[in-house]
Each structure stands twice: as structure tokens, then as C-alpha cells.
Structure 1
């Protein structure tokens, strides 16, 4: 808490048939107009039962009250976290105490669970790591799930434990003699063993750092690697999910709202780390998130809606807003309305210390509350998010396909001043003409509902709009295929496989290409070899099943893989990072001539994966960067079999994703 995938027997030739977009209009000429494309063949992830959540804190007098539980139920909140951020590491559940902190009356675990049940949600409980023990946590599991039959499934071990002073900044209680990630991870194994001995069905989460956010990638003195590297190597094999928190910085609405562009890289990096270091795919839970600007007004609502939908689409199974109640801070006008700098979803009904400003009545919902309510109406548990794209960067778009054949499209207008006209186009889906239109605009005190068109919408300034669509005809078909797996991958080919769902007779393999898809081929089997791929290139593919009647299924969840670099080339490059301080790092590139002739003068080029990575300075070569591309030039001769190293200082302001491809004098090298 900071209040603050056997080669295909009958392989069909690859085709590059672009999907046909339907239900669209001609290109827009109005500068306030945008085209949003919804591609239901490009499936994302399925909404988890605990996707939409919030935080509760034991210092909140109104935790678990009927009024609060009813408000959370009405907003569609499905998960509630307890006992409250950093208080988790000083809280002792058995006697309901938190030495050094304030515990409000009527906030004990049973009261909390009463509120959870009334709201129709489920609990996420954080066990005390900082001042507690594995035995204490195991006793809590016994009380909750054996004695009381509460069925608490998700248990975290500690909260932001990297904030215990090990990296210089300390806000998290930690009484252990060793504050290192090695010590934390070792004890997490003990906690997991003790807790699962009581109830083997529970899921255990370990604290991770969020890629691109302090102290991610930093290796402190005596550590063998960064927090995530150490924790995932030791505790990863015995836990079930990783925990990240996210409080994106920014002094303006535009700065904060742009930060959701980093989510895909953040999640992908955690997933890659868990596969490589823990040897498995861990679930990912974002158990705290909030914004740094407009916490109670429309910028906060726009951020909340976009952040929740983006995280859920990337497969984050739980997203929890910090907090239900928090309290008044700096009072100012934002987007034309009073903002109380309050991390809470609901008003605490209090005033500033000098009495000069007061919040509205207790439990009055702030704007982000309505945003979360909109998200819960847009994407319900069991729905599957699908790929969308907008021609206007100020119009953020998300879509969710429903088991009953419906489709919901959420459109977020981030322009504070201008309404936006949106032309909707669909691939793989034909909607009925009419739609239910839900709107939450700047200054509204609730979500309005009206009947509108499925092909276009007008978005008020600074608003969230959801169109709920019905199919034009029958939407039944075979079951969606499972996510394909990549069995092998080279620089030019990938072998994919999947289990066969019932009733399917044919499978189409689609590559996602922006908002469009390209059908690579089809088969009646359960393997497919994709050929003629580009080396060092990321590909995302989905499967669609067809039955004997020609009906199609939902898209499978996506598979993303990256082709390798050539196994043999005339050059090889090794990237090594030696130092990292959170927003900058030192690294070097070892360049090897693996050919048979000398290279008299050379230029190495590579491309950064993101916009926020930059070479600041370099040595042993001439370093230049233009846009994403970096050039490293040296006039020396590199003999066959010889290597040379050039180093640089780099900076970054988001997930520091490594380059995957390097070319020497225009020749693609082997990446080692």
C-alpha cells in the first residue's frame, strides 16, 4: 500500500487473405470522427471470476458495512482484498491487532467476510510476512476454510516486501534479520507448504516487482539478481501466482492516461520471467492500482476503465483498486469538478484539517467507482476480450464476446473538450442493427442507458461508452479451441499443436496483424506447421473451429511466440547488462565474426522494442540513435573468430524489453 506450441499431414498452403470487415462506413473526413475495428477472430483472454476487485483496509470504520457491501455489489465488484496494503505486514488476524497502526472497530475478518458474502464476491487475503509466521498464516487458512467454510481461494504472502529498506527505501514492516529477496522467497516456500497442508486447494501468491517500476531490475549488494529473478527462481515453483502493484506517475491526465500503453509489455515480461525462472506459467494479479492525477474525477475514471480492461485482456486474473475508503488530500478542481486527492472509490465524508474544504456525504461514489461499474457491465466473468483498434489515439477501445452470442464494445473518449463520432467495423461478427448504449460522461453521477446503433456512436468529451450488441442471427457454434502451444520454433518455422474440442471438424489458424487477421491455413488435424516466417519476429496466432454445418467457434485464447535468429550466420551478438538502477542501466554487446573472412570496419544495428528506451552514451564504438534504431559503428577490422565488445549507458521509462535482432553490415546475426 502506498496511499499514495508432427508436421501437418495435409498442410494447406499458407494464405494471406485479409479478413473482410463488415458493417462499416466509408472513411471519415470529420477530424472529430474515428473508426474502431473489432476483430472477434483475434481473441484475447477470458475474464476471470475475480477480475474486478477492490481493496479494504482494517483502519476503515465502514469496512464490511451493509451500505458499502451493497454499493460494491451494485458496481459488480467480484473480489475484495484484506486487510489493507502495508497493514498486512503488521496485522495479526487471531486477535485482530496491528501493533503500530490503527485498527477500526468492526473490521475483523468475520465482519469483512460478511461484507464479501453480502456483495456476492470473494476474498483475497494477504498473510502477514513482515511480522508474522508461516504457522500464523496456516492457522488463518484453517479458521477461514475449515472452521468457517469461507472458501477463501487466493492468499498472498506479504505486501510490497521489496519496500523493506533492502533497496534503500523502506515503508514495509519486516522484522526478519535478512531483508533480501532470497530470504523472502525461502520463507514463501515455508508459508506455501504450511498453508497448503491445511487446504491444498488454495492458491498462493508471491510479491513481484512491476516491470519498469522501482525497484524492478535492480540487484542489491549480495543478491544474485533482481527481486523477480531471485523470488521466481526460489519460490516460483511452489506458488500459483505473482503479485504486482501499479501506481503510474504523471502530472497531467494525458501523461497518466498514456501509461496503459505499457501494460502489454509489463505483463509479457512477468510471464516470460515466470516461464524461464519458475518453469511454469504463473497467474498474475494486480492487487493494487490507482492513478496519480484526478483520483476522484473523470481522469481517474478514464484511467480505471482503460487499465482494468487492458489488464484483463492481457490475462491478469484480478485487478484491485486502491482503495474503498481512504480520506481527503489536496483539494482542487480537475476537469471542472472538485477532486479531493482521495485514493478511495467512495467518499469518507471528511474535511481538511483546517476545515476549509469537505468531501460530499459518506459513501458518495467518486468517478472511478462508476468506471469500475462500467467495466463490470462491459466484461463479465466468462466473457472473452477480443482485439480492437482505433484510428484516433484519444479514443481507446475494448471489446468482449459473450457466451450468449452478444458482444460489448467499450469506447473511452480521452479528449476533455471534443465529442467524438465513432464508425464501428466488425470482423467475424455480424451485429443486429440496434444496441444498448451505456454512457458515463464527465460530471455524471451514474451510468445512463439508451437504445442506439450498432454501427456508430457519438462519445461525449471525457466519457466512457459501452455498446451492448446482439448477433444478427444465430451465434451458436462448436466450442472454442484451447490455446495452441508451440512445440518447436526456428528462425523460419513454428510447429503448433492443440487438443481437439468436441464437434469441431476443421481448424483455421489466424495470425493477428493489428486489428486484422491473416488466415495462415486450415486443417482437420491438431497440428500445424507455419513456414516462411521472418526471423526474430513476434507472432500472435489464434485458432477458430468449424463444425459440419459450417458454424464457427469463438477464437481460442492467443499464442504469442518469437522466431529465433539464424542458427548459423557470419556474425553473432551477445547482450549483457551489468548494472541497473531502476530507470537506467549499463550494458555491453559482444560482437563476434563467425565467418571466414575479415570484416574491415563494421556497423551493428538493432531496434529498441519500445519508445521509452534510449542510448545515453557509449564507448568502444560510435553510438547513435534515431527513433527506435540504434547504430554502433567501428572502423577496426574484426578477424574471423574474433570478438569485440562495445558498451553503453541506457535509460528507460517503462518495461526495459531487450532487443532480439542485431544486424552487422546488413547481415542478420545469431543472437546468443
Structure 2
């Protein structure tokens, strides 16, 4: 039997709500059809935003939404997406599917979406093919409330008051699709561009995100920080976050692998690659510590998730994939890792929100379904804004083939402002249940909520014909003891326990 010891007296770092953020790019059917259907659509909507999708996202308590990309961001020119929709420029989306982008979803629509969801804004600017002036004027358009050409233009386009931009990304993947830059070149460009991302309201500062590495490119992290922090005393507050991108490709970048057709070895291979996120955070974090020992610059994992071969018969540029119990485990593992490293990780964004990669929702016409990943993120919402607690797991052991061995159990524990403890655990075994004894430093805690996402079939997923195959359900396989709990976790399961005195 594994043992999880929780010291609720030792509160560690705060788990920022933004760790549970999302990403929406002009890619495939993420925005168009998935989120935005237009005001004249027969699908129920408010100002063009699908009512069913918005309601589902509100249930998740989505804290922040990144937009418009992704690779699309560094070819996006924001002025193409404002003003009367019939006059907006049409363009070819050269990154994703070669389809026509009509720019009917632009700045105003994004801000309206965030208003409806009730989340913070994270706008990604165009450094790759845009100019300093273009980026500066976008910030002015969105946030300045005085008299200026851009503020006047915003008012002409129907929005009198400025919006609040919480986060602004200065470029995206500039080591690749964002310009194929060297770290030193990008860092100098970052320094220049961010200068003109002005805070027009001292009480509403924009947090600036610098483009960080792709996976294990520690050379990039070192090079960017070394150049960016040169004479850093003159640049206090010029960088609030450094991004990191990592996707799980079970069979590698070229082949990737099927989202629904896999065996037990590939199951463990996938979960092992998900666990690699911890290594990346620790190693990139160590480099960040050299320049930022006080951890004032947050690690921003603003693209993460599984990336499989797209579903047969769909546009390969749309990156549409199914979502199984395997994805539920990837989500549970990754979110536990973020929680445990919340002293450095301050924001993350699952890629992507609807109909693309490891999405939480899938749509088809007027239908919408919630994926297993959705249900995991719904359970984990209680960690948002809570304090990470000291926890130690022993006796769980490992499982899987030699090359892809994984721990049987992963976990994280937090306490919210009301003193309620949230325990989230994952059983990574594809076939065996696992018993876990939970002990707390103090007695008197009782279960007030217990939920689970699981299925005995590792391939199980939701379809439009069977939307509730994998859902969040009540969990009862536990016994309260004098010191805590004895829990029996089914195979392939993600569990949440809420404890209160």
C-alpha cells in the first residue's frame, strides 16, 4: 500500500489560478465553429459566442485565455480584425490548413469572449512579421482612455471604454515559426518591443511575457536571459514571464500516433513523456534561478498537451483529435506537476480550448461534448488560488515497460482560504487498482467531496452519439480512519478528494 503524508501546517507556494489557463488560436475549428458562430447563426449565441461553449467554460472557472496564437500570432496584423466586418481584410491562413481567414473574430470579439467567460486577457503580439509601431498602437487601442488616434479609433468602432490587458506576449515561438531567430537576436528585439508596450494605467499594469524555449532548448533559455538581463538594473519590471512550450507526441514529432488506437506500451510511453514536464521545469527553472533567484519572473507554460495524428478524414492542418482516458491522465499528471512547482510556474495554457489538440470541448454543428480532459480540469479547479501543502508519497513503486516506467501514483495537495484541503491523485496503471493510505498531521478531517474520472477501457472517449461515456462521477471507494483515509484507486483514474474539519 502506498502512503501519502500531508502536512497541512506547512503551506508552500500559492497555486496561481492562471496555471489552469487555456489557449485559443486561429487554427482549424477552434475559434470559428468552436467558439464563434456569428450573431446571425441559428446556434444559440450571445454576440456571436456559442452559449453552450461559454457556459461550459464558465463552469471550469477559466482564469485566463491566450489569443490569437500560436504561430498565427506572428503573421496577425490586428488592424485587419477591427471595424465593420464586411470591410475587414481576408487572408490565407498559411500556417493552418491554407483556409481563408476573414478576420470576423478580432480584438473586439476576443474581449467580448473574455467578458462572457469572466477570465483575464492574454494577448500575443506580432514580433515576427510586425513592427514596433504596430504592437505599440495595438496596446494603445486596447488600453488607452485619453485622446489619441488609437483610442479615438476604438471609440469609432463601438467601444468607448478601454479594456484591461492582463498579459501581453511579445512574440511567439521566435526560435521557429515566429522568425527563426537566435536567442541573442530575439532578446534584443524583446527589449526593444516591450519598451513600447506601455502601461497607460499604473493601477492596471500589463504583465509582459518573453518568448522562452521549445522543450529542452536550454541554450535558448540561457541565451535569452543572458542578453535580456544585461544591465538589468535599468530594466526593472520589463519581464514578468518567460514561456515554455512542450507537447506530448507518443510516437515522435513525425508520426505522433493515433488518439484512440494504442496499446498498453504506448499508454505508458505517453504518460512517461507527460512526466517529462517536471524535468523541463526543473532544468529551465535552474537557469532562470541564475538570473532571477527571487523568482520574480514566472515560468509560463502557455502551450502544453497531447498532439496526435489528426482524425482520419479531417483536414490535417486543423489538428482535430479525439480525447480518451489517456488524455485525462496526461492532464492530471501535468496539473499536479504545475501545482508542485507553483513557486516558479505562474501561468499555463492547455492547447487548445475547442476542437484542436487536447481540447476540453468538441463541437459539431449545434452539438457540443465535454472531453475527459474537461472533467479533470473541472475537478482540479479547486486548486486555483489555494496554497500548495507539503506532501510526501512513498511505497507506490513504478509500473510499465523498462524504457517507459512511470510511478504508479502522482499527486498534489492544496488548502483554500476556507481551510478545505484538495487532494488530487492519478493511478497510472492500465490494469491494476492501487491502495493509498492518506495521513494528515492533525486529526478531525472528513471527506466533503469525492469525485473521479475513469473507465476500465483505456481507449474510452466521448462521441456525439455517446457524450457521457467518460464523465466526472461521485467516488466512494475510501474509508475514513483515525489518522486520515484509506483509498482504493481504480486503474486509469484521476481522483479528487476534498477534506474539511
- TM exceeds 0.5? yes
Within the candidate set 456, 464, 488, 2:486 is matched to 456
Kindly tell me: are residues 105 and 292 of structure 1, through their superposed partners in 2, closer, same or farther at Cα, counting changes over 3 Å? Answer: closer
Partner of 1:369: 374
- Out of 371, 388, 398, the residue aligned to residue 384 of structure 1 is 388
Q: CA deviation at 1:137?
A: 1.8
1:70-125 Cα distance to aligned partner (Å, 9 max, x none): 21111222111100211010111122268541435642122122121211211111
Alpha-carbon offset, residue 387 of structure 1: 2.4
**Distance in 1 between the 2:174 and 2:166 partners?**
22
CA 1:445–1:276: 2 relative to 1, 3 Å: same
Instruction: State the match for 2:425 in structure 1.
Output: 411
* CA apart distance, 1:42: 4.5
Provide structure 2 residue ranges, at least 5 long, that are not aligned to the other structure.
Answer: 37-48, 82-88, 94-99, 146-160, 252-265, 309-320, 397-406, 461-468
Q: Contact 1:209–1:227 at 8 Å: present in 2 too? A: no
CA–CA distance in structure 2, aligned partners of residues 77 and 131 of structure 1:
30
Q: Do the aligned partners of 2:24 and 2:69 also contact (CA within 8 Å) in 1?
A: yes
On the 8 A contact 1:431/1:469 being kept in 2, the answer is no
Structure 2 CA distance for partners of 1:348 and 1:363, relative to 1, 3 Å: same
Q: Whole-Å Cα distance in 1 between the matches of residues 62 and 408 of structure 2?
A: 27
Higher Cα Rg, which structure: 1
- Please give the alpha-carbon distance, in whole angstroms, between the structure 2 residues aligned to 1:254 and 1:314: 23
- Matched with 1:156 is 169
Structure 1 residues 104 and 314, CA, compared in 2 at 3 Å: closer, same or farther? farther
The TM-score, its normalising length taken from structure 2, stands at 0.72
Q: Counterpart in 2 of 1:119?
A: 117
List aligned pairs for 1:158-197, cutoff 5 A.
158-163=171-176, 172-174=177-179, 179-197=181-199
Alignment of 1:186-585 (within 5 A): 186-199=188-201, 201-210=205-214, 213-217=215-219, 226-227=223-224, 229-231=226-228, 233=230, 238-251=238-251, 252-277=266-291, 281=295, 282-292=297-307, 296-315=323-342, 316-327=345-356, 342-349=357-364, 362-377=367-382, 379-392=383-396, 393-427=407-441, 429-442=442-455, 443=460, 444-449=469-474, 453-454=479-480, 455-471=485-501
Q: Cα distance, 1:199 vs. partner?
A: 4.6
Q: Does 1 or 2 have the higher relative contact order (CA < 8 Å, sep 6+)? A: 2
Aligned to 1:89: 74
Pairwise CA distance, 1:362: 4.1
Structure 1 residues 396 and 214: alpha-carbon distance in aligned structure 2, compared to 1, 3 A threshold: closer
SS at match of 1:290: strand
For the structure 1 residues 108 and 67, does the alpha-carbon distance in structure 2 shift closer, same or farther, using more than 3 Å as the test?
farther
Following TM superposition, by how much is the alpha carbon of 1:409 offset from its aligned partner in structure 2, in angstroms? Answer: 0.8
Conserved in 1, the CA contact under 8 Å of 2:171 and 2:178?
A: no
Report deviation, 1:343.
3.7
User: Given that residues 243 and 284 in structure 1 are in contact (C-alpha distance below 8 angstroms), is that contact kept between their aligned partners in structure 2?
Assistant: yes
Higher helix proportion, which one? 2
Q: Residues 183 and 220 of structure 2 are in contact (CA less than 8 Å); yes or no, is this contact kept in structure 1?
A: no
Are 1:184 and 1:231, in contact at CA under 8 Å, matched by a contact in 2?
no
Query: Distance in 2 between the 1:196 and 1:453 partners?
Result: 56
1:7-46 aligned at under 5 Å gives the runs 33-46=1-14
Unmatched 5+ residue regions in structure 1? 1-32, 164-171, 220-224, 328-341, 351-360, 472-672
Provide the aligned C-alpha RMSD in A: 2.8
Q: Which moved more, 1:458-467 or 1:253-262?
A: 253-262
Count of residue pairs brought into register by the alignment: 395
